[in-house]
């Protein structure tokens, strides 16, 4: 009964929801970027793209966006639990958590305010074409916008998971006092990456995100840069 009668029990339940919804969200994100998008670029995938966009994609996007929402909300609650227990924003643990949370928040916003609205245009266009109607000329641009935001989220997912994991399991890393210089450096790096989701496809800085391997390497690179900032700035 401690699970529902004590504050640590409720914190564990919220953390469990955070894990479940996070696995759902990131799992579907990686499916889109590592499996579905390359398949759509193949000859067979091109033939199946219209039917999959009408049938499979809307269902996958439902799990995708609500996984993001529950991950985001449960994450906010967990931060509230820690702060309520006296863990201040200047604590090294909270620095690591908030670094991951900042990227997670951008990822959540990209899902709900960039990817989902753009995909609604793409899905509606596929339905219209399948019904014999005229294609929407804005659909291609919407697909490109959604794709770049999704690749940006995939990039973010790599350092985000590193920082969330390091909060409890790498206590010697970034154990400072939320130094303003760290947040200036980390914030600039994260904002630069987020800009790739918002400026529209085709910018030179987005070149690494045009391939699966490039996206993974960019995510690992951002992880290393943020780690160096955390070690060097305390």
pLDDT score at 172: 77
Mean pLDDT of 93-106: 95
pLDDT bin (cut points 50, 70, 90) of residue 234 is low
Domain ranges of the chain: 2-232
Q: What's the whole-number mean pLDDT along residues 47-56?
A: 96
The whole-number pLDDT of residue 233 equals 82
Question: What does pTM read for this prediction?
Answer: 0.95
Average pLDDT over residues 199-224: 95
Q: What is the pLDDT of residue 173?
A: 77
Question: Does residue 175 carry a pLDDT above 80?
Answer: no
Closest by CA to 104, choosing from 48, 162, 40, 182, is: 162
- Write down the pLDDT at residue 89: 83
Q: Quick check: 177 pLDDT over 70?
A: no
* Token pair for 10: 């409720």
Per the model's pLDDT, the better-predicted residue between 88 and 68 turns out to be: 68
Residue 51 has pLDDT above 70, yes or no: yes
Residue 88 structure tokens: 């201040």
Q: What is the pLDDT of residues 19-28, one digit of tens each?
A: 999 999 999 9
- Using a pLDDT cut of 70, give the percent of the chain over it: 97
Task: Give residue 176's pLDDT.
Answer: 60
Compute CA distances 230 → 82, 98, 112, 155, whole Å.
21, 12, 30, 19
CA 100, 113, 37, 201 torsion: positive or negative? negative
Distances (CA, A) of 82 to 10, 28, 39, 42, 176: 12, 29, 43, 47, 17
Q: What is the mean pLDDT of the chain?
A: 94
* H or E element, residue 125: helix 116-130
Distance of CA 186 to the CA centre of its chain: 17
Residue-wise pLDDT for 114-163, tens only, equals: 999 999 999 999 999 999 999 999 999 999 999 999 999 999 999 999 99
Bigger pLDDT: 171 or 183? 183
d(CA 170, CA 211): 31
| pLDDT tens sequence across 29-43 | 999 999 999 999 999
Please say whether the beta carbons of 85 and 57 come within 8 A.
no
For residue 200, name the pLDDT band (cuts at 50, 70, 90). Answer: confident
């Amino acid at each position: 009964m401690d699970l529902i009668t004590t504050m640590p029990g409720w914190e564990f339940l919220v953390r469990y929801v955070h894990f479940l919804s996070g696995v759902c969200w990131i799992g579907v994100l990686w499916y889109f970027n590592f499996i579905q998008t390359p398949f759509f670029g193949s000859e067979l995938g091109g033939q199946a793209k219209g039917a999959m966009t009408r049938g499979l994609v809307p269902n996958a996007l439902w799990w995708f966006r609500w996984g993001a929402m529950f991950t985001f909300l449960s994450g906010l609650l967990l931060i509230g639990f820690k702060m309520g227990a006296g863990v201040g924003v200047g604590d090294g643990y909270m620095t690591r958590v908030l670094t991951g949370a900042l990227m997670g928040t951008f990822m959540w916003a990209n899902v709900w305010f960039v990817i989902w609205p753009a995909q609604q245009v793409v899905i509606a266009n596929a339905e219209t074409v399948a019904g014999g109607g005229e294609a929407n000329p804005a659909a291609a641009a919407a697909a490109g916008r959604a794709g770049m935001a999704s690749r940006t989220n995939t990039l973010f997912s790599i350092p985000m998971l590193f920082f969330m994991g390091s909060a409890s399991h790498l206590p010697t890393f970034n154990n400072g006092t939320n130094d303003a210089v760290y947040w200036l450096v980390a914030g600039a790096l994260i904002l630069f990456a987020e800009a790739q989701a918002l400026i529209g496809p085709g910018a030179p800085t987005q070149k690494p995100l045009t391939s699966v391997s490039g996206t993974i390497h960019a995510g690992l690179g951002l992880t290393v840069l943020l780690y160096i900032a955390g070690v060097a700035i305390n």
